[in-house]
Homo-oligomer: A and B are copies of this chain.
């Protein structure tokens, strides 16, 4: 590695965290290096070949263990030489400024929290942007924090606000709490009721009240706050819907001669409309907020384009140190 690097430029990459293998990740790094200025510490098996084009910006740190998808967080923590753990450790030891992995979300969250969290700060939440009918929306927690308190939701709202300012460029993000109804009726869970009170009183937040499932796409608010069970469900459901809709469209446009002709005529609009909205790669890169350093989760099924976008999420997070105060 060249001597001119500063810590801030270096991203620690878990090269073993994708279903598609290290080669997809190297491809993503190549694309990222073409479009931006990056330096990578790549953690993964010693047989990984760093491509010529990346050698100036990249160092391979061989690791011998891999956190698998089905592994429980405690099992994962026992693997002292896993690529995931070593990547996070590099951030802790200031050899990298941010870490990125497409691996086991629960393990990543647990390892990042355990290794990076200082003092008794509240639990980190996973946040991501996705496309609405009007623009984009931030939702958190997507990461499976299943036992959230009302105070956690308030923390999520503040982090979501900072994230929306950084990523959506909205000065005063509108914030909603996910609920089954728009009003404070008998059917509101205690957590949502209490969080509603907290956010109503919080003068620094532009709280707009309850939102429901349809508002994930309606664009009614910029930030949707919810517990990690519902958020995880939403994330998986959106991915599933995108896949199903994409496969429908493919069937329409490849299933018959007429369909193929139709595709010729509508290609531009399809690219513009559907790919923009539905391509999960385009919105890859969820940020773990509530830690002193950026840790980014790439979708496990992401392609090189998705992982590249997740790298840009990490790089963007580094430009907003207030997110990690």
For chain A, which range describes its interface: under 10, 10 to 19, 20 to 34, or 35 or more residues? 35 or more
- A245 and B247 contacting across the interface, CB-CB below 8 Å: no
Cβ–Cβ contact B146 & A180, under 8 A: yes
- Which residue of B186, B230, B251 is within 8 Å of A74 (Cβ)? B186
Q: A72-B185, A146-B189, A217-B240 are in contact. Are A180 and B269 (CB under 8 A)?
A: no
A212 on the B face (CB < 8 A): yes
Q: Judging by beta carbons under 8 Å apart, are B262 and A236 in contact?
A: no
With contacts A189-B146, A235-B213 known, is A269 near B256, CB below 8 A?
yes
- Contact pick for A232, options B144, B185, B213, B258, CB 8 Å: B213
- Identify which of B132, B212, B274 contacts A236 (C-beta below 8 A): B212
Q: Bound state CA distance, A278 and B270, in angstroms?
A: 17
Interface string of A189-230 (1 = CB under 8 A from B): 100000000000000000000001111111000000000111
Q: How far is the CB of A176 from chain B (nearest CB, A)?
A: 13
- Nearest-CB residue, chain B, relative to A104: B181
> How far does the Cβ of A283 sit from chain B's closest Cβ, in whole Å?
14
Whether B269 and A106, one on each chain, are in contact in the complex, defined by CB atoms closer than 8 angstroms, is: no
With A180-B229, A214-B237, A262-B266 known, 6 other A-B pairs at CB within 8 A are: A70-B182, A213-B236, A214-B243, A234-B237, A244-B277, A252-B269
